Structure 1
Amino acid sequence: MTGRQIKLFLVDGSPGSLTTAEITNWTGHVLSAPRSELADLLKRDEAQRTGAYLLLGEDEEAVGNTRCYIGEADVVAERLRHHQREKDFWDRVVVITSKDANLTKAHGRYLESRIIDLARRAGRVKVENGTAPPLPALPEADASDMDYFVTQLEIVLPVLGVNAIRVPSAKPGPSGSRDESLSPVFQLRNGKLGVDARAQQIDGEFTMLAGSTVVGTWQGVGKAESTVKAYASYRAQHEHLVSDGAIAVEAGRGRVTRNIPFSSPSTAGSIALGRSCNGRREWIAADGSTFGSWESRGVE
């Protein structure tokens, strides 16, 4: 895998505050800030340029517990002032511009369209945009440049903790692949429940693979207060995945329609089984090893 150098700069020296991000030899520039520091962000030169932006806010009832609005503007600062007055849900903003200030209105619209499409494909946030604008016509060379620009965004944004456009890989790697970002394919089966799920760790995320069969509804309830709370969270995740089409329910069983990343193998297993799951023990590779044993390879 080719390494990348990403430069992060904490403007006031505090994590979580106004932050800039760049990749060496990339013309793009990303600026992230909490809403409480919007005034400082608006004073910066980057905010006076043409570009795209994401507004992010926590919402326990949203996909991935996050709501996201994606836009573009000739002068980003002017649009953000409007959103400060008109939109209440967001508590973080990410501004995407170019270091060489060469982005035009058409480039900004192209970015907006691509980012909205990626966010919907990723399925990690609730996209607040009511419509998805079509890609504007750009000269072939410009379109190629902007597509490369977007591939760099897909690297930079997760480093900033923004996974809105982090689309899981479409295909698993072969068993025994030397790519360190891929694991063997692990399986979780339960004949009584009709569960036959497959998963793989891809780019550091435990990902349930398209075509897996899972429970159609989440049945766990729990007794202890902590268990009840955990089960409610799992049920909400399952319901979100069903509502956004990631799990299609047919004849009482769920079919995974696209690769779904999870925070842990236990969460993935719980969503698949409709009950609590020790994912490091219950996900099994073709050679009989558990995910936990694969995860610990080379440690001792």
Structure 2
Amino acid sequence: MSSLGKSVRLFLADGTPGGLVTAEIMNWTGHVIAAPRSDLGVLLKRPEASRTGVYLLLGDDPDVTGGTLAYIGEGDDVGKRIRIHNQAEEKGGKDFWNRVLVLTSKDANLTKAHARFLESRFIVIAREAKRAQLANGTTPPLLPLPEADVSDMEFFIKQAKIVLPVLGVNLLRNTATRSTPSTPDPSSQSDASPEFALTVKGANATAQEVDGEFVVRQGSLARPEWLGTSLSYEKLRQQLEEDGTLVLTDDGKHRVFTRDVVFASPSAASSVVLGRNSNGRLEWRVSGTTTTYGLWQGRHIEQADGDS
């Protein structure tokens, strides 16, 4: 059965999708503001900017095509901290970022200790998620809090992990495996994704669709080298080899995934695994069956037609 839905309220402060945006979840005291750096002056005039909270600075990673460079910080007055980061680097600022997000509390009950706890936890979660390169040099120690406060902060984090992806920020988004039935059933009406497999000569990989993203699992084996024509997926494959995600095995027969990797599509995943351009909707199959990813995905349409 599907989990309960969430209502996320977005407000476009200037009426444009590229400007300052606020986000809230019903029955959550947290409040999120996102703005491009060019609108920093507008953000700093808002009352939330003078509260205690956590902030994220986001920009392009110069070392990874399409990658994100991020900095996570906290402050009694987050606006003052962001003003410092907005200075030139020779004055202690940071040049890389082009977007800022501020997470505070609507009831103004976040304390300095809470903010430092959140900062430390956010950094740990972001490093584990490996969605972005962090500009933070170290991870601050996790401050001890009363048990009730820890529970409140973990709930705050849980809600933040829902809101941020809605704003296009996947920094804290993990790729945990969904629960799946022990025996795959393509006709099942469960929303959970089964495990998919791609097994051919020179490759043996597994994957799963998690929260709308296609994730190839750590330990999967890909072909040792690119065999196809020069396409965009070749650059992606090369990038994964260079950053240590695809490592050549000792016998040189495969490259192994050293971590879970999120791909934009099943075809991007299968192309990297096979070392050539491929159609992932046909290549990936539900483990233990002949059902392709495309057929599995199509069952939702058949079910909808049957219920109409």
Report if TM-score (shorter chain) is over 0.5.
yes
Distance 1:90 1:40 in 2: 17
Task: Report whether the alignment pairs 1:169 with 2:176.
Answer: yes
**Segments of 4+ moved more than 6 angstroms:** none
Q: Is the 8 A contact 1:281 1:291 kept in 2?
A: yes
Task: Report whether the alignment pairs 1:231 with 2:230.
Answer: no
Equivalent residue, structure 1, for 2:106: 99
Q: How many aligned residue pairs are there?
A: 288
Point out the more displaced range, 152-161 or 285-294. Answer: 285-294
Equivalent residue, structure 1, for 2:263: 262
Equivalent residue, structure 2, for 1:190: 200
Cα separation, partners in 2 of 1:113 and 1:126, compared to 1, 3 Å:
same
Deviation string for 1:56-88 (max 9, x for gaps)?
Answer: 112353385111111111110001011111111
Task: Report whether the alignment pairs 1:212 with 2:214.
Answer: no
Q: Which ranges in structure 1 are unaligned for 5 or more consecutive residues?
A: none
Equivalent residue, structure 1, for 2:306: none
Deviation string for 1:82-124 (max 9, x for gaps)?
Answer: 1111111111001111111111111111111111111111111
Q: How many Å apart are 1:215 and its aligned residue?
A: 3.7
Q: Is the 8 A contact 2:75 2:81 kept in 1?
A: yes
Task: Report whether the alignment pairs 1:134 with 2:141.
Answer: yes
Distance 2:106 2:248 in 1: 47
The SS at the match of 1:78 is helix
Q: How many Å apart are 1:186 and its aligned residue?
A: 1.1
Distance 1:153 1:238 in 2: 32
Cα separation, partners in 2 of 1:215 and 1:131, compared to 1, 3 Å:
farther
Distance 1:179 1:100 in 2: 39
Cα separation, partners in 2 of 1:164 and 1:153, compared to 1, 3 Å:
same
Equivalent residue, structure 1, for 2:61: 59
Distance 2:132 2:17 in 1: 23
Equivalent residue, structure 2, for 1:115: 122
Q: Which ranges in structure 2 are unaligned for 5 or more consecutive residues?
A: 88-92, 303-308
* AA matched with 2:261: I
Distance 1:178 1:2 in 2: 16
Distance 2:61 2:145 in 1: 36
Point out the more displaced range, 262-271 or 16-25. Answer: 262-271
Q: Is the 8 A contact 2:58 2:71 kept in 1?
A: yes
* AA matched with 1:277: S
**Residue from 22, 25, 28 that aligns with 1:26:** 28
Cα separation, partners in 2 of 1:234 and 1:210, compared to 1, 3 Å:
closer
* AA matched with 1:152: Q
Q: How many Å apart are 1:290 and its aligned residue?
A: 0.8
Distance 2:7 2:51 in 1: 25
Equivalent residue, structure 2, for 1:74: 76
Deviation string for 1:219-259 (max 9, x for gaps)?
Answer: 25635xxx2x442233224433x2xxx54543133333443
Cα separation, partners in 2 of 1:59 and 1:41, compared to 1, 3 Å:
same
The SS at the match of 1:299 is helix
The SS at the match of 1:297 is helix
Percentage identity across aligned positions?
Answer: 49
Distance 1:115 1:63 in 2: 24
Equivalent residue, structure 1, for 2:292: 290
Structure with larger Rg? 2
Cα separation, partners in 2 of 1:202 and 1:230, compared to 1, 3 Å:
closer
Equivalent residue, structure 2, for 1:12: 14
TM-score using structure 2 length = 0.87
Equivalent residue, structure 2, for 1:37: 39
Q: How many Å apart are 1:292 and its aligned residue?
A: 1.2
| Root-mean-square deviation (Å) | 1.9
Distance 1:209 1:235 in 2: 18
Cα separation, partners in 2 of 1:258 and 1:178, compared to 1, 3 Å:
farther
